Structure 1
């Protein structure tokens, strides 16, 4: 009878854990929209005379406006004529900014990446090449531009505000706008996202590059948001990765063995451009040129503050800050010698410090990407000097944004205040970001004042950010009406990031207010904004909303929109949710595709869970090999919530396949994961496995691990099984302790069976009074699965005690439960007759 409860529990454990694994909904900021309605004037007959009177000046204004537009068009065309025709400008032309090659070799085709870029450029899609320094971004872009846009005229705006000036004259048409190192144009307030769309609509090809490190910096952790991220979101991203396979393919095409070896070891761009030599020279110099390498580290940090070129006098003031104390008095070389070493060309190609002007220097990009350094480690003194060295309002805001990222609020505040004092149009953006700093400092009144100043500035980007942030402030203050109004105002600014994210947050607000219709409209507006983050968040949140509303088709569409957004985090979560939805709908292929989209997203919070759920899906589909591979991938992901439960599910799979050793290893892996649920489930299952194999000591250890794990759902079953094991081994005290642990867990079924086990122990020991009392407690608990068996055993106890009437009554009650218990009880009654 003790084994019956165990069998019951093991059967009950066959539930699937997919929903538990993936329906983890965090508190996401979400979105909404306020529709704008405008009713035109109802013209009356008397108004027609007024219309005639006013038309003359209106027509004069229109004529002047058209003349201005024509003049702007001529200005733009004149500028593009001066730049030349793309196909006639060689890749060595300095306007392309292609790194000088250390070794001259024939251009090497970059495979599918190059073909994909060509298709995008032909289609007129604004495209952004992303990759590390010397990955070959500029060279690839030039090659493709010359190939597919060779007849266009080239436009290379001067950073940081050359593009703003160009767009101020009119949208260039039919040209190629080349934006190498896009971050140079992204200083806050100088690049409006809508310009990308306008150039595309005008038939202008837009091709840009950006280093991976710079793109990553646009998406800082936490709630901080860089306005420039919305500009990047308007481009189609093409990533140029350092693939070992591509290295080998290109190396195989090299005409000489030494070239092949260099490409294979360092990658094509780094080898041909000599980037690896810069890194090796720097590392070699750490011991032999302490002052020179200190200058290089200082220049790297200076770049990370948002300023490209460091003046020589700043090097003189700050360089000793980068020399260890023991060498500070005598670093072994003079400043002149150190600077000469740092600016020398290695193999005549690459320098650690490049001379930007007569007395300013810039560190090589390759070192920024390939030498360990963190913006958070920049000394306070360097920040102070960078803030004061920022010469233009745009530089001031750039430094302030980097200081924010580095959690240097004092430096950020000072830089923003300098930009505000300048009176430049970027002051609005500075006010908006200063408001964020004040919120983080806990000064709500100052934050509100800053946001209001940003709104009053008239700067579209600043207004959008400020209204959206003011909405957040009102939410925190509990003023729903004011928050709704602020988000609505942000939406009307037309600023891409502000529209999408304000709509998204308005959606959350409406959900909390219980207005599903308004929330749905808000999320849809967030999706329609086109902002990557807003589309991802809005699609995900709308999908959740539609699932709760029971609209599967709408939920599916919303999740798919989130996946298509390309937003890493939301692609992962939406793929996971969609996988669950499709699995529940019986759409195995669709569920499989959704889980794989979540896995491909690279979202570390989701990948392991998606693998585990894919394993469940393949298990249900009978695809054992695929399920095993998925569970193993979940375990390999290292995700805290996936490792243990995937190990447990893999153990179950191996048991079904008869692979005892593999099952044992999987369960043991789940136990050591430390995940409370997995420890309990795997510990109990491993205990059952070892018990059936006759390994009492191993079974005991596994059950004990499950009990110690503390998971309420499994302490009861494991404690009950451990009690049965100890009882069978004759360890009464240990059995009683195990049963008591199961009872204390409060497990609905196993608490009753464990009390039943205590009664059986007492009965076996001849303590009929304790046994009787214990069985009565079981019956009083009302657990249906155990009550019938308890009446049956109580009847036997009373018969042994000589109380036939009580025995008959107990057997009679046992017959009322039906099943095998009733049959056995009836036989006992028949024997009493």
Structure 2
């Protein structure tokens, strides 16, 4: 009986699940593993050598067999992804007796899911080269959700270059629904639901040792001769074929054959799906032939035969297909080609795209390096294909063509695309049109778009409408949006609702959200729970959260664990973090490592970090380079930083009091208490005592102990001894030893010797040399010579 689903005829190979291959009978070549040089028995499949990731892959696959879900093996071409995944399926006890469902394309996958639902067949879905299925008519979020409901495991492989194009980039700030143009956003939404398992191309020492000890001579040979390459890529003859292709363009070589391969490689890199007809390759290859009369390219038939010839019993440069007039290409070659795609290849890809989806995908591949091609790919689709319109809007917005982007977004949003409404809201917010942005976000949020609710929460928080922001964050958080949960924690923390904030951070942290983990660490550190804070910062830092690495560095520095702090700061500096460069500079400066400190502070200062600019000036002052320091302080002051205070202090030390007064007053008016104190010193030096007293009192009222001492000196000089005593005592009680000494002197001069002795002893015990001397005089005058 032929099964049909939803009015669509089921392809013959999917109709009877009992004819799908059993896991136990599934072979590696059928799975899609690269062939290797055959052994004496003719087998093109070498002995499998356990990889370091096998146990983790087994655990994930077992969980998916029990609960459903996507397991993704990620890596470069010929890293061994397919072979490792195939082995995991064969070895997974939870999959014993299962069938392997291996659809040819996205639409067939959708049909097959209905077959699985109708027959309740126990199977594992195998998607080698996942990017082929990430289309709106293939593996989209709804299809994956149905497979999870059926508790059907999905195992897939994907090359890094494709993952970089399709995957979402996490961020805490509001972003367009497609932060970068993507194929309808489908790939990003699916990939968000899995944590890829990365398989290294280069084998570890442990893996090499296992290969060396196996009984397959091909593996032993690969371990011995693989050089800078991975064992799997050596076995698949990847490096050898890459070299042969690259050196074929020479007199006496196969320059036309190499050009045909180059054309196929570039077509693959455009996103145009193979196979490619001989006519297309022949037409395009002319643009890859060097203009060199000495080459004398071979005839086209000879060139095709050379390119398609089997090498090492493993593979060929061009791969023959069931159509004798069409070819694929060995996937190792495009994966190891970094030169720009030829302009003619882009145009040929557009001309030969079979359908809208393929044209959309070509635009995705072009967006980063050939935006004009992406625009050409998407613009004809934008009127009837809202997702193409959305991607086109992203492209135009990135190019600063905001009016065009707005028009395209509105067109898609008016057609009901909530992602386009989110993008339009983001664009309007960037342009400062907040009321309109709010309207678009609300429109999408009311339609159930979680990103819109999150972005609206962020916008409202920036506008100070915190109650409304909280409401929107809670709406997004209710769907499990980790960024919304984390940002809600921030909002609650700023409102002093620490308990609720901690609850939100913990909820997001439990979902693996690194920013929430880091923020939870901040709460722990502020509460003095340093060990817990350290653990949380490390967890987030290990997940790649740069700010967590900086926070950990700060915590370690406060605990005096400077070597560890330096390590964390350097980790963040290497990732490009400016704050880490500044903090590392301060750490090194305190350690007396001035040259290294200057290097770090300059690195941060060169990015416009005003605190780094100012602190670089402090370092230069301490190393006697006053002219350079003055330049730094002026730069910081011009940026509105407290560099005005440092510059004023430096100028005062240099005797340039008029200039110093202006700068110190500027800083003091901005609330800088040290500046108010130092301005008082400048004014007192100039004999402007009333103004000096006013500045001192301003600083004292802000809690500045040194200003109390300085005012005491001024009042003593003016003969206002009772007031002077009050100021000295205030500063001495706060631990200011100069003030204690001066208070002792005032008391001694007033004949209050017992009190004077007590205060002078206090300062002397703190190591104040003048207090020790004056205490001796006081004791001698009292006839207590031995004590003196």
TM-score range, shorter chain: 0.7 to 0.9
Q: Tell me how far 1:163 sits from its aligned partner.
A: 0.7
Select 1:211's aligned residue among 159, 164, 177. Answer: 159
What does residue range 769-808 of structure 1 map to in structure 2 within 5 Å? Answer: 771-773=686-688, 775-782=689-696, 783-784=699-700, 807-808=718-719
Q: Is the 8 A contact 1:595 1:610 kept in 2?
A: yes
Q: Tell me how far 1:80 sits from its aligned partner.
A: 1.9
Q: Tell me how far 1:445 sits from its aligned partner.
A: 7.4
Q: Tell me how far 1:182 sits from its aligned partner.
A: 0.8
| Structure 1 position 187 matched with structure 2 position 113 | no
| Structure 1 position 743 matched with structure 2 position 664 | yes
Q: Tell me how far 1:344 sits from its aligned partner.
A: 3.2
Q: Check 1:827–1:539 CA distance in 2 against 1; reply closer, same or farther (3 A cut).
A: same
CA distance in 1, matches of 2:619, 2:392: 57
What does residue range 553-702 of structure 1 map to in structure 2 within 5 Å? Answer: 553-563=499-509, 571-602=513-544, 606-607=545-546, 609-652=547-590, 654=591, 660=592, 663-675=593-605, 676-681=610-615, 683-684=617-618, 688=622, 697=624
Q: Check 1:161–1:549 CA distance in 2 against 1; reply closer, same or farther (3 A cut).
A: same
Stretch moving more, 397-406 or 272-281: 397-406
Question: 1:105 maps to which residue?
Answer: 46
| Structure 1 position 136 matched with structure 2 position 80 | yes
Q: Is the 8 A contact 1:428 1:453 kept in 2?
A: no
CA distance in 2, matches of 1:625, 1:437: 45
Q: Check 1:488–1:776 CA distance in 2 against 1; reply closer, same or farther (3 A cut).
A: closer
| Structure 1 position 817 matched with structure 2 position 727 | yes
| Structure 1 position 232 matched with structure 2 position 191 | yes
Q: Tell me how far 1:280 sits from its aligned partner.
A: 2.3
| Structure 1 position 355 matched with structure 2 position 320 | yes
Question: 2:172 maps to which residue?
Answer: none
Q: Tell me how far 1:153 sits from its aligned partner.
A: 1.3
Q: Is the 8 A contact 1:130 1:209 kept in 2?
A: yes
Q: Is the 8 A contact 1:302 1:382 kept in 2?
A: yes
Q: Tell me how far 1:557 sits from its aligned partner.
A: 4.2
| Structure 1 position 451 matched with structure 2 position 361 | no
TM-score (norm 1): 0.71
SS of 1:673's partner is helix
Q: Tell me how far 1:115 sits from its aligned partner.
A: 1.4
SS of 2:642's partner is helix
CA distance in 2, matches of 1:322, 1:160: 33
Question: 2:213 maps to which residue?
Answer: 253
Q: Check 1:812–1:432 CA distance in 2 against 1; reply closer, same or farther (3 A cut).
A: closer
Question: 1:727 maps to which residue?
Answer: none
SS of 1:354's partner is strand
Question: 2:278 maps to which residue?
Answer: 312
Stretch moving more, 229-238 or 515-524: 515-524
Q: Tell me how far 1:217 sits from its aligned partner.
A: 0.5
Q: Tell me how far 1:335 sits from its aligned partner.
A: 4.4
Q: Is the 8 A contact 1:431 1:453 kept in 2?
A: no
Question: 1:54 maps to which residue?
Answer: none
Q: Is the 8 A contact 1:187 1:394 kept in 2?
A: yes
| Structure 1 position 284 matched with structure 2 position 247 | yes
Select 1:392's aligned residue among 351, 355, 364. Answer: 355
SS of 2:196's partner is strand
Q: Check 1:553–1:196 CA distance in 2 against 1; reply closer, same or farther (3 A cut).
A: farther
CA distance in 2, matches of 1:664, 1:715: 23
Question: 1:369 maps to which residue?
Answer: 335
CA distance in 2, matches of 1:322, 1:220: 34
Could you list the per-position Cα deviations for residues 766-810 of structure 1 after superposition, in whole angstroms to 9, with x for gaps in the alignment? Answer: xxxxx324x55433434445666666666788xxxxxxxxx435x
Q: Is the 8 A contact 1:680 1:714 kept in 2?
A: yes
Q: Is the 8 A contact 2:409 2:420 kept in 1?
A: no
Could you list the per-position Cα deviations for residues 147-199 of structure 1 after superposition, in whole angstroms to 9, with x for gaps in the alignment? Answer: 22241112111114211222355636311111111111113443221222222
CA distance in 1, matches of 2:136, 2:7: 30
CA distance in 1, matches of 2:523, 2:596: 28
Question: 2:380 maps to which residue?
Answer: 417
SS of 1:317's partner is helix
How many residue pairs match? The answer is: 684
| Structure 1 position 115 matched with structure 2 position 55 | yes
Relative contact order, higher structure (CA 8 A, sep 6+): 1
Select 2:450's aligned residue among 494, 497, 500. Answer: 500
SS of 1:171's partner is helix
SS of 2:16's partner is helix
Could you list the per-position Cα deviations for residues 468-515 of structure 1 after superposition, in whole angstroms to 9, with x for gaps in the alignment? Answer: 446557765734674255213541xxxxxxx33233224335546766
Q: Is the 8 A contact 2:267 2:345 kept in 1?
A: yes
Q: Is the 8 A contact 2:113 2:147 kept in 1?
A: no
Q: Tell me how far 1:538 sits from its aligned partner.
A: 1.9
CA distance in 2, matches of 1:398, 1:611: 37
SS of 2:320's partner is strand
SS of 1:772's partner is coil
Could you list the per-position Cα deviations for residues 251-286 of structure 1 after superposition, in whole angstroms to 9, with x for gaps in the alignment? Answer: 543556643223564223212222222332233335
Question: Normalized per residue, which structure has more helix?
Answer: 1
Could you list the per-position Cα deviations for residues 219-248 of structure 1 after superposition, in whole angstroms to 9, with x for gaps in the alignment? Answer: 477453532211222345222123544554
Q: Tell me how far 1:759 sits from its aligned partner.
A: 6.6
Cα RMSD (Å) of the superposition? 4.1
Q: Check 1:631–1:474 CA distance in 2 against 1; reply closer, same or farther (3 A cut).
A: closer
Q: Tell me how far 1:723 sits from its aligned partner.
A: 5.5
Stretch moving more, 139-148 or 68-77: 68-77
Q: Is the 8 A contact 2:667 2:675 kept in 1?
A: yes
Q: Check 1:343–1:157 CA distance in 2 against 1; reply closer, same or farther (3 A cut).
A: same
CA distance in 2, matches of 1:84, 1:826: 101
CA distance in 2, matches of 1:327, 1:564: 63
Q: Which runs of 5+ in 1 are unaligned?
A: 1-65, 422-426, 456-462, 492-498, 655-659, 691-696, 725-731, 763-770, 798-806
Q: Tell me how far 1:329 sits from its aligned partner.
A: 9.7
Q: Is the 8 A contact 1:720 1:738 kept in 2?
A: no
SS of 1:285's partner is coil
Q: Is the 8 A contact 2:74 2:199 kept in 1?
A: yes
Q: Is the 8 A contact 1:671 1:682 kept in 2?
A: yes
Stretch moving more, 78-87 or 349-358: 349-358
TM-score (norm 2): 0.75
Select 1:302's aligned residue among 243, 267, 272. Answer: 267
| Structure 1 position 274 matched with structure 2 position 248 | no
Could you list the per-position Cα deviations for residues 635-670 of structure 1 after superposition, in whole angstroms to 9, with x for gaps in the alignment? Answer: 454423311222212443x3xxxxx4xx33443333
Q: Tell me how far 1:136 sits from its aligned partner.
A: 1.0
Q: Is the 8 A contact 1:680 1:710 kept in 2?
A: yes
Q: Check 1:519–1:736 CA distance in 2 against 1; reply closer, same or farther (3 A cut).
A: closer
CA distance in 2, matches of 1:77, 1:386: 31
SS of 1:228's partner is helix
